[in-house]
Structure 1
């Protein structure tokens, strides 16, 4: 395939970024109407199994295709390229069959480990998606390696749109036909396989269009060995995939520990399921916060690689520090804003204010998860793969060791605190590695200024909510929450920017990176 021009490559990268952003927003937003239809217990049933889907999707959509595309781009000879893809497909097909069989045969044991045998058919329902992962990962990786991002972007949008549609239709049908939550969960989770079929159909269209037949090269004698490829897939591809699914891995630990911990805490099973369903409300909130915080910063990261490749070390350090400070500023504003408006957001989205405390703690994850993603990208641009995986392992170990004990002692809020703690330790570990590279983003009292600005904004928004409730008190609870949230967001945004400028939180050149900054900065001044 002929190499595309730089303009085409950049357009493709932009298209894939936009498609990914839309898919992430879809993936977060659908859970609100879904929870409203199926209730806390129904939401719990779905969310218990969601991490299995989330990890599988990350491997098939972003992690392994990214790694495969790198191998394809490095291989010039067309025959060698198809031989490489054929062998990767065989390795992935074997691994996928093992995963599928494991989830089918050990579903009851996995469900028992989660503290709820009723989850067994839902685990079996989600397992079918793994059969489509090899083809999706290899075909997406091939096209990305050829700098054609359209197939991946199109299949990603088709996959997420169909999955979300099936889930919401199932929820509506289950609500009107009074299905039990486990039957609803099985049908809702079958959306993963249905969406994978749709995505595979899209990729098949592009494969046939370009007359690609990598399976015809299975018997080629030359090429990398299966052992070597499997090792690289596991280490390099696995590293990319694991970091991309960091929050989902923490949720997987929650699936095995929170329910059991709540019952040991003293809840009856029916109440434990409802409380876990309330706790799971935090996940779409964090997802949306991460989309806002990382979509901006990820657009700045390519300039880091360019500066490093051109040997401009000082420019690399300056730009990396800017990315870190800007990302932390946006993430903190989003997280503390959610904490300040949690009663209103909870009422507006989920119809009541259950779990305000534990959700307020949980959304603090946005701050540290954003930092980890940025640190990981910077360290990977420096080829520091080992330390990033060590940091992830350390965070997961803390979550595994302390989660159930924290839930037994403090209830579901304990799991929120352990999630934040594990992300904090992970971020601190990676920051220590960056300091060895002479990156020191938090100078001149930056963190103290950030804490002060955030606290003052939090207090200001809560006072505003007290005043606003006098004027909106006659409205229905959800309409009142909407009106107050709009007022709170406006006041919080103005306060945060004003105080950040007042405290000189960021340099002027850093503010000017933001869209239309010169216009609204002049207004604030």
Structure 2
């Protein structure tokens, strides 16, 4: 029976990981055609309010469901689970209604703080999706708590598909009917509600049948439940929206900082739109790194459940090694190809230096996310939360200071440094069990050599091709595709040659067994020659 439960849990974790990966890819990719259609200023209008949507959806689709699922899983019978779900639903209804009216009421204040009063309609447009939060959070939380991840996975993917569809429709209508930027932005923000409605269909069966069952189980204390949800639950929500919170600070400080530096309003909005190109690139880098490391999460949970602490530490070490390696490869790969990627995706190479600095944060946010997964499995929440709060304060202070001196490079540097502060705090205050996982100096030397090899080969290819052939937008397609492929091959070959990972670690990687087989064949042929 225990083995069946473990298998069910692992299968569920895999389903949820795949759904999350699909949703993240969709969330990153749609911004590229969207920016190309609406331009830099249109992208600025959308991205200014996007962090508010991001935080709301983190509460509804990630943070609250994770904590609710934990509470549901702790109950021993179905009647108690239903009773608990009903009470949490009431609490979240009060919270979502309060948030809805609060966002609509304070929309002018938020728009003024962002330096653009025309954003009021967008903020009010995004507020409607808050009304669906109780249905999404409780529905997902209940199914996750009963180890049925399929409805949750379907809701996550369908929400993103519908939202992306409406956003692209908004962009097309903007171009076709010559709408102004803010009318287009309001429809694009309403996409969040359209996505939430479609996601709710995954839980129709639960709310129409199971949820309505009247039980004789004694009620839980509403006060205690509220306290739990808005302490531990909110902590999970806040961490899940780390990058969105940093982006929200950019929404309040970047345009105002540029205006203070003497830029005209239209120029400031245009520059902010270009700077926001970094967000889909950052997400794509994170998807790759987190996707690889998350495949080991079920194994980590299994080791902890069986109290195999040595195995838990070993898997944690492998997770961190994979995270740092893939994130470094993704970040530096994008940085060396940034002018070409920028031109290919967005039509020009403007602010490539600033975007390169911003992309460097892929390394730190990926490591923070991996450490957070490990700490959450140990029920350690406070460390990452304090680290996150420190990052938010540092980001705000540095944004105000550095934008005044370095323009948008200041905002990029502030993001990287704020994440570095958060990671440093987590490393210093982590429990003894997971300390010193990066203490082996030779790993860093090997990773450095592997990365340098990749950078030299890719940069040489870019320079030679650009000099001999050209650097038009069509050329950048070839350079980006070949450069990325060449970089990946050089990185993997260098990692194998320098023995960056042990054989055991390679085998734990998706596709690692095939890579090792090919490498062994090549080395044997080399020895024979």
TM over 0.5: same fold? yes
Mapped to 2, the partners of 1:438 and 1:366 lie a distance apart of 22
- 1:422 counterpart = 2:418: yes
- 1:459 counterpart = 2:427: no
Deviation, structure 1 residue 177 = 1.1
Task: Please give the per-residue CA displacement for 1:356-414, whole angstroms capped at 9, x wherever unaligned.
Answer: 00100011111001100111111122222111211111111111221122111100111
1:112-151 aligned within 5 A: 112-151=112-151
**Structure 1, gaps ≥5 residues long:** none
- 1:485 counterpart = 2:480: yes
Deviation, structure 1 residue 306 = 2.0
Deviation, structure 1 residue 468 = 1.8
- 1:104 counterpart = 2:101: no
Deviation, structure 1 residue 213 = 2.7
Deviation, structure 1 residue 438 = 5.1
- The match for 2:503 is 508
Rate the CA distance shift 1:81–1:43 in 2: closer, same or farther, 3 A.
Answer: same
1:360-379 aligned within 5 A: 360-379=356-375
Mapped to 2, the partners of 1:382 and 1:62 lie a distance apart of 19
- 1:450 counterpart = 2:439: no
- The match for 1:30 is 30
Deviation, structure 1 residue 494 = 2.3
- The match for 2:60 is 60
Q: TM-score, normalised by structure 2?
A: 0.93
Contact in 2 for aligned 1:32/1:349 (Cα 8 Å): yes
Rate the CA distance shift 1:438–1:72 in 2: closer, same or farther, 3 A.
Answer: closer
**Structure 2, gaps ≥5 residues long:** 524-529
Mapped to 1, the partners of 2:18 and 2:125 lie a distance apart of 30
Deviation, structure 1 residue 472 = 3.8
Task: Please give the per-residue CA displacement for 1:87-114, whole angstroms capped at 9, x wherever unaligned.
Answer: 1111111111111111111101100001
- The match for 1:305 is 301
Rate the CA distance shift 1:54–1:438 in 2: closer, same or farther, 3 A.
Answer: closer
- The match for 2:344 is 348
Mapped to 2, the partners of 1:484 and 1:467 lie a distance apart of 10
Rate the CA distance shift 1:509–1:291 in 2: closer, same or farther, 3 A.
Answer: same
Greater CA drift, 283-292 or 489-498: 489-498
Deviation, structure 1 residue 4 = 8.0
- The match for 1:245 is 241
- 1:294 counterpart = 2:294: no
Contact in 1 for aligned 2:42/2:181 (Cα 8 Å): yes
Deviation, structure 1 residue 434 = 3.4
- The match for 2:519 is 521
RMSD in angstroms over aligned alpha carbons? 1.9
Rate the CA distance shift 1:424–1:520 in 2: closer, same or farther, 3 A.
Answer: farther
Local SS of the residue matching 1:445: helix
- The match for 2:210 is 212
Mapped to 1, the partners of 2:180 and 2:495 lie a distance apart of 51
Deviation, structure 1 residue 9 = 4.5
Contact in 2 for aligned 1:297/1:326 (Cα 8 Å): yes
Deviation, structure 1 residue 285 = 0.5
Deviation, structure 1 residue 121 = 0.3
Deviation, structure 1 residue 205 = 4.0
Contact in 1 for aligned 2:63/2:234 (Cα 8 Å): yes
Deviation, structure 1 residue 214 = 4.4
Deviation, structure 1 residue 333 = 0.2
Contact in 1 for aligned 2:80/2:217 (Cα 8 Å): no
Rate the CA distance shift 1:524–1:256 in 2: closer, same or farther, 3 A.
Answer: farther
Rate the CA distance shift 1:325–1:213 in 2: closer, same or farther, 3 A.
Answer: closer
Number of positions where the alignment pairs a residue of Structure 1 with one of Structure 2 = 517
- 1:499 counterpart = 2:494: yes
